[in-house]
């Protein structure tokens, strides 16, 4: 049960982290709002004048609005990659509809008699528009703008899915690390930001409808001063803390799991402590390897932790090699030749896939191996993350090797599988061998008796261009070679997922004890 005390503790302990996310959220939202406003107003005015475009434009923006936002983020990854630009494009697309529609509707609904009267008095077309049509349409246009702004701020929370930062990152990280208070803090922050902006625009909207004729000089001065102060505060928030952009910078990414957050922090903090390179963290990228690898190829990401089995089977799509050292040797060579990437080191632990189910169920059904589960699989519901059902080293190959025939299959976010077990939504899940919740929930890990899953030894992948630019990273990151055993990784995961420590705190403690 989350208490007010937990929320305040999270805010206090992570105030710098949350401040950075707030700035990122405002930057992204503000950039999108400006672009949407310019394009939306221009388009709304254009379709008022050019009737033949009207149906096509409104039909297009209506259609785009119906596409799920998550799908839209994913669709633009091959075109513009991950990060800020991707998020900006998607936010602009979703925000256009209310602005275009309200601009056109407001301008079109102005009483024609008033327009004719203005023309009869000798007003030019521009005067008719600027002094009659626009002022009368303004409340409707402002209403559409208000809807767009609130929607954009809320939708920007999904930007963390593709590594664009923002307050959604706190929500996503909370889900990925089983930290309910962080989820709540991130959600409240987004809601308060949207509410504050909504109330501000509402006040402007109200004043546009009911204009006071007695606004004195002092009141106008006060409004001007308030606006100037607010503008300076906003500009100050959006400026980098150092007042200048760093000359040396690399991007470290991670997949959306607690373990990956920890490894990402270990890599980032080690670089920061041993060099003057500024590290940009793009952690918790949705889709994991399937989105991070293309971003590495485009140069949007420099370094990230990966697993040998995933790289060999999912990225290279090669035949399985069961001997870990042979696999690693072949992997290093293939990655260097095909992608221009280097595997700097293996960290020392093997986080292979496995299948897990509640101990009570395993005992009652006498299940200890994958083969025994396969024989009785028609009785059970299986749950796994989305990409597990697409990977050759995932369910397709596993099902073929063991002839699984589950009663039903449920696709879940990677971090909701354990909750699905607790809620009896599923009976069996795929899991990682170093997941701390296996111990916490008293789950039985079944034996892969046909050795389907290869070694998934964790290592560090870096672009060769990054190594050429910062050659010192090779020696610095190589200090992590074999420093994290299975038991150590399990303990680190436990501290984040169960004890609710931040990945940064856990990573710093590990580095101080074992590396620095």
Cα distance between residue 177 and residue 262, in whole Å: 10
Closest CA to 428 of 403, 446, 452, 415: 446
Burial label for 205, CB within 10 Å (0-12, 13-18, 19+), is middle
Average pLDDT score over residue span 126-142: 88
Element (H or E) spanning 445, and its range?
A: strand 443-445
Output phi, psi for 443, to 5 deg.
-95, 150
Which range has the worst mean pLDDT, 64-73, 215-224, 410-419? 215-224
Provide the CATH number for the domain around residue 384.
Answer: 3.40.190.120
Same domain? For 290 and 407 the reply is no
Q: What does the pLDDT look like over 300-356, one tens digit per residue?
A: 999 999 999 999 988 998 988 889 999 999 999 999 999 999 999 999 999 888 899
Same domain? For 84 and 182 the reply is yes
Provide the CATH number for the domain around residue 474.
Answer: 3.40.190.10
Looking at residue 208, what is its pLDDT? 57
pTM more than 0.95:
no
Same domain? For 137 and 214 the reply is yes
Q: Name the percent of the chain lying above pLDDT 90.
A: 47
Q: What does the pLDDT look like over 23-50, one tens digit per residue?
A: 889 989 999 999 999 999 999 999 998 8
Query: Which structure tokens are listed for 174?
Result: 């909370």
Confidence of residue 500 (pLDDT cuts 50, 70, 90): confident
Provide the domain count of the chain.
3
Looking at residue 226, what is its pLDDT? 54
Query: Does 243 map to a domain?
Result: no
Which range has the worst mean pLDDT, 295-304, 328-337, 357-366, 411-420? 411-420
What are the Cα distances from residue 266, in Å, to 39, 178, 199?
43, 20, 42
- The structure tokens 């925000």 sit at 95
Same domain? For 387 and 322 the reply is no
Domain range holding 417?
Answer: 353-445
Q: Which of 238, 265, 281 is the last residue of a domain?
A: 238
What are the Cα distances from residue 193, in Å, to 156, 197, 198, 466?
11, 6, 9, 37
Q: What does the pLDDT look like over 100-121, one tens digit per residue?
A: 999 999 999 988 888 888 888 8
Query: Which structure tokens are listed for 143?
Result: 């209403």
């Amino acid at each position: 049960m989350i208490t007010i005390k937990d929320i305040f503790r999270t805010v206090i302990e992570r105030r710098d982290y949350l401040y950075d996310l707030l700035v990122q959220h405002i930057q992204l939202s503000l950039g999108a709002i400006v672009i949407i406003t310019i394009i939306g107003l221009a388009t709304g005015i254009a379709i008022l004048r050019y009737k033949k475009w009207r149906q096509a434009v409104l039909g297009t923006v209506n259609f785009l609005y119906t596409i799920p936002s998550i799908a839209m983020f994913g669709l633009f990854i091959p075109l513009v990659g991950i990060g800020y630009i991707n998020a900006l494009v998607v936010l602009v697309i979703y925000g256009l509809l209310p602005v275009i529609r309200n601009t056109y509707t407001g301008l079109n609904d102005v009483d024609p008699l008033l327009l004719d009267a203005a023309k009869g008095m000798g007003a030019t077309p521009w005067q008719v528009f600027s002094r009659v049509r626009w002022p009368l349409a303004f409340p409707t246009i402002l209403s559409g703008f208000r809807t767009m702004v609130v929607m954009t701020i809320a939708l920007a929370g999904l930007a963390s899915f593709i590594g664009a930062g923002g307050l959604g990152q706190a929500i996503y990280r909370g889900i990925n690390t089983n930290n309910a208070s962080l989820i709540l803090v991130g959600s409240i922050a987004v809601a308060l930001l949207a509410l504050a902006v909504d109330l501000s625009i509402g006040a402007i909207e109200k004043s546009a409808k009911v204009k006071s004729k007695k606004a004195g000089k002092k009141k106008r001065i006060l409004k001007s001063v308030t606006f100037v102060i607010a503008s300076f505060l906003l500009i100050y928030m959006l400026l980098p803390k150092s007042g200048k952009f760093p000359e040396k910078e690399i991007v470290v990414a991670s997949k959306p799991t607690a373990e990956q957050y920890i490894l990402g922090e270990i890599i980032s903090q080690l670089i920061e402590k041993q060099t003057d390179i500024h590290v940009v963290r793009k952690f918790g990228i949705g889709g994991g390897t399937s989105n991070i690898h293309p971003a590495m190829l485009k140069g949007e990401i420099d370094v990230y932790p990966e697993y040998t089995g995933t790289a060999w089977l999912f990225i290279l799509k090669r035949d399985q090699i069961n001997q870990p050292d042979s696999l690693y040797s072949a992997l290093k060579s293939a990655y260097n030749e095909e992608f221009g990437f280097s595997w700097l080191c293996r960290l020392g632990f093997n986080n292979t896939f496995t299948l897990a189910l509640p101990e009570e169920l395993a005992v009652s059904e006498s299940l200890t191996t994958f083969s025994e589960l396969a024989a009785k699989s028609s009785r059970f519901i299986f749950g796994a993350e989305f990409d597990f059902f697409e990977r050759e080293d995932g369910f397709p190959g596993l099902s073929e090797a063991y002839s699984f025939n589950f009663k039903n299959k449920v696709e879940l976010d990677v971090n909701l599988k354990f909750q699905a077990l607790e809620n009896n939504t599923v009976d069996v899940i795929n899991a990682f061998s170093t997941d701390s919740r296996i111990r916490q929930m008293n789950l039985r890990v079944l034996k892969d008796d046909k050795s389907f899953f290869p070694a998934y030894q964790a290592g560090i992948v870096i672009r060769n261009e990054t190594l050429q630019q910062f050659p010192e990273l090779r020696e610095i990151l190589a200090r992590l070679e074999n420093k994290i055993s299975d038991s150590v990784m399990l303990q680190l995961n436990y501290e984040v997922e169960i004890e609710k420590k931040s990945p940064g705190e856990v990573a710093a403690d590990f580095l101080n004890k074992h590396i620095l």
